[in-house]
Amino acid sequence: MNPDVVTVAIKGVMPTANGCAVFLGDDHKTFVIYVDHSVGNAIQMSLKGEKKERPLTHDLIGSILLGLGAQLEHILINDAREGTFFARILLRMENELGRKIIEIDARPSDSIVLALQQKRPLYVARAVFDGVEDMSEVLERVLKQQAEETDEASDSTDEDK
């Protein structure tokens, strides 16, 4: 593994007043990226493996890549400035003329959806990962609160029967 990057996974997606908070991290640290509602929903659908009635934009991009013979290698969240994250999508194309790696600038939110849909790794540059605030405790509190609300809702449903 390249020491300049950290492999991360989606640890949670929570609605906020202005969109969704996407919690990413490894076993030691979690950080958050804020995305709009539509991309947050696309991330949640991809995590759950839900099929859409009609292709969404990310599905269309995946189909175009397939049609062009390009494969998503991985995504890299490579920078963070003033609370805004930046990402790169790395594509691999091979044909009779050889192999080519293409790097595309993209929003992390869109990149995450594509990586989830195509089951490809998510990486964060070590410098970015080291510089973000650890939100592990916040995520734990939110997940605990959601679990309690779910328990209360199921208790009230049981009482209604």
Q: Per the structure, how many domains does the chain have?
A: 1
The pLDDT tens digits for 62-117 are 888 888 889 999 999 999 999 899 999 999 998 888 899 999 999 999 999 999 99
Whole-number Å distance between alpha carbons of 52 and 117: 12
What is the residue range of 63's domain?
Answer: 5-160
The pLDDT tens digits for 126-159 are 999 999 999 999 999 988 887 887 777 777 666 6
CA–CA distances in Å: residue 99 to residues 50, 67, 105, 114, 122: 33, 17, 20, 21, 22
Angle in degrees, 0-180, between the axes of helices 108-117 and 37-48, rounded to the nearest 10: 20
Phi/psi region, residue 41 (left: phi>0; alpha: psi -120 to 50; beta: rest), is alpha
Which CATH number fits the domain that encloses residue 141?
3.10.690.10
pTM of the model: 0.84
The pLDDT tens digits for 28-47 are 999 999 999 999 999 998 99
